[in-house]
A and B are shown apart, each in its own frame.
Chain A
Amino acid sequence: MTRKQRRLTLIGTAGVVLATAFGLIMFALYDELVFFQSPTDIARNTLPSGQRIRLGGLVEDGSVVRSDNAEVSFRVTDMENTVSVTYKGILPDLFREGQGVVTEGIVRPDGVFVADSVLAKHDENYIPKEVAEALKKQGHWQGDKTTAN
């Protein structure tokens, strides 16, 4: 192999690997993104049904209903619209009525949000940033009530 061929082989291999990586990243970005939506966004129905989304808002007071087999249902609200959520599993330690929550899953055709994960918070004062902004957008931001700092 001449020096030039060696160099070309090296550059060629590098090109193939990098192109593969680039292709994978673009494909995954196109396919695997999860959009954050508020109940109002869902009510406006901006995304095709069956797409995975993150739903964020406040857990409506008095809406949490537990049934056997660790199933739980609650409503997530941004004071404008409300979405019913069902979830099977253990809720994070700091899940509370009236507090911010982020859940991930899909919207069933009947409008119920089936969550497969409810995001934990690590701090009692923490309200997910996305939720805070979604609430502000709706003009229902009550800093003192939701103890965001």
Chain B
Amino acid sequence: MIVEFGHYALVLAFALSLVQSVVPLWGALAGDDRLMAVAPPVSVTMFVMVLVSFAVLTSAYLTADFSVLNVLENSHSAKPLLYKFTGVWGNHEGSMLLWVLILVFFGALVGLFGGNLPKDLRATTLAVQGWISAGFILFLLATSNPFARVINPPLEGADLNPILQDIGLAIHPPLLYVGYVGFSITFSFAVAALILGRTDAAWARWVRPWTLLAWCFLTLGIAMGSYWAYYELGWGGWWFWDPVENASLMPWLAGTALLHSAIVMERREALKIWTILLAIFTFSLSLLGTFLVRSGVLTSVHAFATDPTRGVFILVLLCLFIGGSLSLYAWRAPALRQGGLFAPISREGALVLNNLFLTSACAAVFVGTLYPLFLDAVTGEKISVGAPFFNLTFGPLMVPLLIAVPFGPVLSWKRGDLLAASQRLYAAFGLAILMTIFTFWLWGMEKVLAPLGVGLAVWVMAGAVSEILTRVKIFEIGPSRAFSRLIGLPGSAWGSMLAHFGIGLTVLGVVTASAFQDERIATMRPGDTVELSGYQLTFDGAAPRRGPNFTEEVGHFTIRQGGIFVTELDPSKRIYTARQMPTTEAAIFTTGFSQLYLSLGESRGDGAVDVRVYFKPLITLIWIGCVIMALGGAVSIADRRLRVGAPKPARKRNAGAAAPAE
């Protein structure tokens, strides 16, 4: 009975989404306040309905109600409680329900906290949000009903795919979805601006915080997914240029471009039309990602089910939203007023350059991801586009961007002085050269690109730090007075410093972990030792062990360095009972920022096992850098000057004065 209640709540939410799609927009166009006032309460109620529906599905999982098809196919009574909970979105229907839940949550946020927006803008934005909600709730109800029942329920479920039985499932999808779906707000804002035919100051101020919020979560979601794949799949890789990964990288690249162009729009009123286009692109890429992952055109761990009607449905939604918004853009954008002139060498110019490189890189990823699908559909020829393609296209486009990163924040708005800006970066440049030489000295000349990559990463990090130091004039007024200036710096300055420092860290981790990793593959018998990067790994033997819903063969290894005991590692091979499916559980030893990664292969019967072991220098910096980037985003959102709200003229003048025109 309660399950039907959840289904019913979802149907109600669909009805509400139709109301929200039409009534407020009508009100906004007709200038009727009462009709516009419908939007906020409807958006909140719709969220409550979807939440109820989600709660019902969750309770079906927690109580292991196998009369629900979705629970039957993806759960098992012996599954640990955490995975019963996270298993709610470890399948197609449940994950789409989570997607919709977050979508309507964002709508409700605008409904609740958009009080200081112009009425018609809020109503129109919520109406656009209503279209998206209606489309995806209908998708759930029509093709992916999570509440479908089974007539004669069996006593036991089929269990969750063992690869997903991990804490990562609790973290990665929600973070990623908040990121993906968060961009829907910026999209709705952009479309609303096009419908209303104007972009006022309030509009410009709303775009950046919402973009930043979504961007922070997307950054964390991608990083978490990467780390999860790294430790769970047992291949020791952290990024495979898999289409599913690219599906999340594309909105990230476009979103990063968007949040930079939004800065220009917010401060200088320039690039408005471009920002609107980017907002549309970013969410379109999120939708494309959802399509690629959920439609089953790709075979991967993310494609839970391959039902062609679902793919067609999402494809139709995709065409409607992307085609519709772009047509609207082509029709209405020329009517928007452009403002804010700037010289090519200026903060604006630097941000335009950032946008150029990020969007080109995004285009490269787009081609590499979709070309195989396109070729297959047109000619039937099967090809794959792998890391070499992306290294050759994405890599070269990122290098000039990273070189330019430290220049952006030290250039002044409107008209900048490249020479003066360069002088502020001498120290950073010197440090980068020093680190390059140091890396050459450490590793020799055999790898030419890697030390240059290290230098580039240090350049970005040192540039970020020196930007803050010069802003507080530490070299002119001395450390104690500089410290008080440091505290007084606006959050956005700290935010960009942290984010740029973070990207430098990530690059450093990528370069060192790829170029200087050490790898051994060996067949080991008890007592055997392999040597790797100064560590000696001794295989002591293997023993069976039982878990709650699996059995495993655990290998025991002792790690020594120069003969001195360091640690013990216990990688294992598991067999999950319900599906009889084997998985590899790697054992990881973190030392400083580097990791020793050990995974088992097939055992040979006579006590011998295949072993693969890596030493990955500084690899954790890849993910730490992402966390710092997201932290930078959060600090920037917290910036008081950028608090959301329609700025009064006086406040606007203040904000203009506070924006440092250095």
Contact = CB atoms under 8 A, between A and B. Distances in A.
Given A70-B521, A94-B582, A13 B371 contact: no
Interface string B523-545: 10000000000000000000000
Interface stretch (B105-113, B355-363, B449-457, B547-555): B355-363
Contacts of B300: 122
B584 A3 contact: no
Interface in B282-310: 299-301
Contacts of B384: 33-34, 36, 54, 104
Contacts of B341: 3, 6
B261 to A, nearest CB: 13
A33 B601 contact: no
Contacts of A128: 299
A1 to B, nearest CB: 6
Given A28-B389, A89-B521, A18 B582 contact: no
Contact of A28 (B163, B392, B582): B392
Contacts of B386: 32, 34, 104
B599 interface: yes
Given A13-B353, A123-B161, A128-B299, A24 B343 contact: no
Interface of B: 161, 163, 233-235, 299-301, 341-344, 349, 352-353, 356-357, 360-361, 363-364, 367-368, 371, 381-386, 388-389, 392-393, 396-397, 521-523, 573, 579-584, 599-602, 604, 610-612
Given A70-B522, A91-B602, A124-B581, A29 B364 contact: no
B371 A29 contact: yes
Contacts of A6: 341-344
Contacts of B583: 93
A90 B384 CA distance: 22
Interface string A23-44: 0110111011111100000000
A70 B383 contact: no
Interface in A61-97: 66, 68-70, 88-91, 93-94
Contacts of B385: 29, 32-34
Contacts of B392: 24, 27-28, 31-32
B351 to A, nearest CB: 12
B549 to A, nearest CB: 16
Interface size, A (range): 35 or more
A21 B397 contact: yes
Interface string A103-132: 010000000000000001011101011100
A3 B579 CA distance: 68
Given A9-B344, A69-B523, A70-B601, A25 B367 contact: yes
Q: Is the interface of A mostly helix, strand, loop or mixed?
A: mixed
A6 B163 CA distance: 55
Nearest to B602: A91
B484 to A, nearest CB: 39
Given A69-B523, A130-B382, A90 B344 contact: no
A90 B599 CA distance: 9
A3 B338 CA distance: 14
A34 B357 contact: no
B144 to A, nearest CB: 18
Contacts of A124: 579-581
A126 B382 CA distance: 18
Nearest to B576: A124
23 contacts: A17-B353, A21-B364, A28-B388, A28-B392, A29-B389, A32-B389, A34-B383, A34-B385, A34-B386, A35-B382, A36-B382, A69-B521, A70-B611, A88-B521, A90-B600, A93-B234, A93-B582, A93-B584, A94-B582, A104-B384, A122-B161, A123-B301, A123-B581
Contacts of B342: 6
A24 B344 contact: no
Given A1-B343, A70-B601, 8 more contacts: A14-B356, A24-B364, A32-B389, A34-B385, A70-B521, A93-B234, A104-B386, A130-B382
Contacts of A91: 601-602
B360 A17 contact: yes
Given A24-B397, A66-B604, A126-B299, A29 B367 contact: yes
A133 to B, nearest CB: 8
Nearest to B164: A122
B158 to A, nearest CB: 11
B276 to A, nearest CB: 18
B385 to A, nearest CB: 6
A133 B393 CA distance: 31
Contacts of B356: 13-14, 17-18
B535 to A, nearest CB: 19
A10 B357 CA distance: 13
B602 A33 contact: no
Contact of B383 (A21, A25, A33, A94): A33
A126 to B, nearest CB: 7
Given A90-B521, A91-B602, A93-B584, A21 B360 contact: yes
Contact of B388 (A13, A25, A32, A88): A32
Contacts of A28: 368, 388-389, 392-393
A33 B163 CA distance: 30
Contacts of B604: 66
A146 to B, nearest CB: 15
B523 A70 contact: yes
A1 B161 CA distance: 63
Contacts of B234: 90, 93
Contacts of A18: 356, 360
A129 B299 contact: yes
A10 B352 contact: yes
A120 B389 contact: no
A24 B381 CA distance: 23
B522 A69 contact: yes
| Candidate in A10, A66, A122, A129 with the most chain B CB atoms within 10 angstroms | A122
Contacts of B523: 68-70
A89 B583 CA distance: 16
A87 B612 CA distance: 14
B518 to A, nearest CB: 15
Nearest to B579: A124
Given A21-B397, A33-B385, A35-B381, A122 B301 contact: yes
Contacts of B521: 69-70, 88-90
B389 A90 contact: no
A36 B584 contact: no
Contacts of A10: 344, 349, 352
Q: Which 5 A-B pairs have the closest CB atoms?
A: A36-B382, A90-B601, A21-B360, A122-B301, A32-B388
Contacts of A35: 381-383
B110 to A, nearest CB: 34
Nearest to A127: B299
A1 B344 CA distance: 9
A120 B232 CA distance: 13
A25 B367 CA distance: 8
B306 to A, nearest CB: 9
B63 to A, nearest CB: 26
Contacts of A25: 363-364, 367-368, 393
A122 B301 CA distance: 5
Nearest to A29: B371
| Candidate in B393, B522, B582 with the most chain A CB atoms within 10 angstroms | B393
